[in-house]
Amino acid sequence: MKLKLFVWALVCCMSSLYVQGQKLQPGFDIQEYEEILRIIVGSSETPAKAKLIPYPQHSVLQYKSKVMGLSNLWELWMKDGKTAVLCTRGSTLDTDSWLANIYAAMVPATGKLEIDTGFTFNYTLCENTKAAVHVGYLVSTAYLTRDMVPKIDSCYQAGVRDFIITGHSQGGGISYLVTAYLYALQREGTLPQDIRIKTYCSAPPKPGNLYFAYAYEKMTQGGWAFSVVNTEDWVPQMPFSVQTLGDLPEESPVPLVEGFIKKQSFFKRIFMRSYYKKMKNPSEKTVSTYQRFLGKEVAKQIKKYLPNFKEPSYSPSNNYVRTGLPIVLYPDAAYYEKFKRKDKDKVDLMLHHGIVPYFELTERYLDKQR
């Protein structure tokens, strides 16, 4: 154990020799993203597919966590000797890994999760009381950040100030919440103010509702967070989104409409309320259904893997939205020729979602710049 700590300290000290170089810059950097895909592929793809992508050119693996939570894992890489890259693994074939995706009811973006005996995750992802996030990814964030924060502190003590948060697929969805959590720790003084955080969410599902998206985009504005998507990829459109009148701000047309109906004569009031309910109730019923199946029912399965987990109260929202500054990768004819179904009668769910097609599109993006 002492030897491992010595090696870790030595690596961090060596990296600090390079920290005086160029600082991490805002703005989307396609070469930076390409290096990130090279980093991600080793932990998030099968060995056969990982071989299709070259090994990172500018980064060295420093730490790989144990599997934790819902089959979550993360790696720490040092890029160019001065930038720490915190990479969260995407979904695996393990059941509990997919439960993290399917556990898609929303919870408030500020609160606490009672995850295990002696493990309560207190979090403030943003200050908007209407903001809500994906509960499965929040559970994963709780486990991952508990392991990440001490490593961030070790890097900082060694002189590292620049950190990139990233992940592909599920890892991208979790990276949104990890980023928001680290910014919150910075605001409260737990993390130093001079740490710079940049985020690349690759092929990410949607992490929360519109109010969370607003807050996330405000805290990362100025070119510090990106959502990279392939237009043919279905995962960034998940989870399904349902908007209700309750998702609107307090100042909205709803009170005016309801007030107008109340002022009508008895029979007009009955008639108008009937139509109003026909427009209002279906979306609310759908949200209730999602909460029951993607919340309560999935929570029962979660408890098989996390037996002391206490199911939280869910937010009355399912208004999932795309979050972060989008970087859209557009396939061309050559791409479609290369990535097409081998069997026309068999759907390949990951055909356009894996890291290999994303790397292919990134290379095409780079070729246009050369």
Q: Residues 282-313: pLDDT tens digits?
A: 677 888 888 898 999 999 999 999 999 999 99
Give the pLDDT confidence score for residue 19 in this predicted structure: 41
- 163 in any annotated domain: yes
- 130 in any annotated domain: yes
What is the pLDDT averaged over residues 80-102? 95
Lowest mean per-residue pLDDT among 175-179, 213-217, 250-254, 359-363:
250-254
What is the pLDDT averaged over residues 133-150? 98
Q: What percent of the chain has pLDDT over 70?
A: 85
- 353 in any annotated domain: yes
- 268 in any annotated domain: no
Give the pLDDT confidence score for residue 285 in this predicted structure: 83
Look at the pTM and tell me if it is higher than 0.85.
yes
**CATH at 188:** 3.40.50.1820
Query: What φ, ψ does residue 273 adopt, rounded to 5°?
Result: -65, -35
- 96 in any annotated domain: yes
State yes or no: pLDDT of 2 exceeds 60: no
Query: What is the chain's mean pLDDT, rounded?
Result: 88
- 334 in any annotated domain: yes
Give the pLDDT confidence score for residue 258 in this predicted structure: 63
- 266 in any annotated domain: no
- 192 in any annotated domain: yes
* Res. 98 pLDDT band, cuts 50 70 90: very high
Q: pLDDT digits over 12-64, tens only?
A: 444 444 444 568 999 999 999 999 999 999 888 878 888 889 999 999 999 99
Give the pLDDT confidence score for residue 249 in this predicted structure: 78
State yes or no: pLDDT of 243 exceeds 90: no
Give the pLDDT confidence score for residue 3 in this predicted structure: 45
Domain that residue 100 falls in? 2-17+24-247+282-369
Give the pLDDT confidence score for residue 17 in this predicted structure: 43
Contacts of 182 (CB under 8 A, 6+ apart): 145, 149, 152, 163, 165, 191, 197
Counted domains in the chain = 1
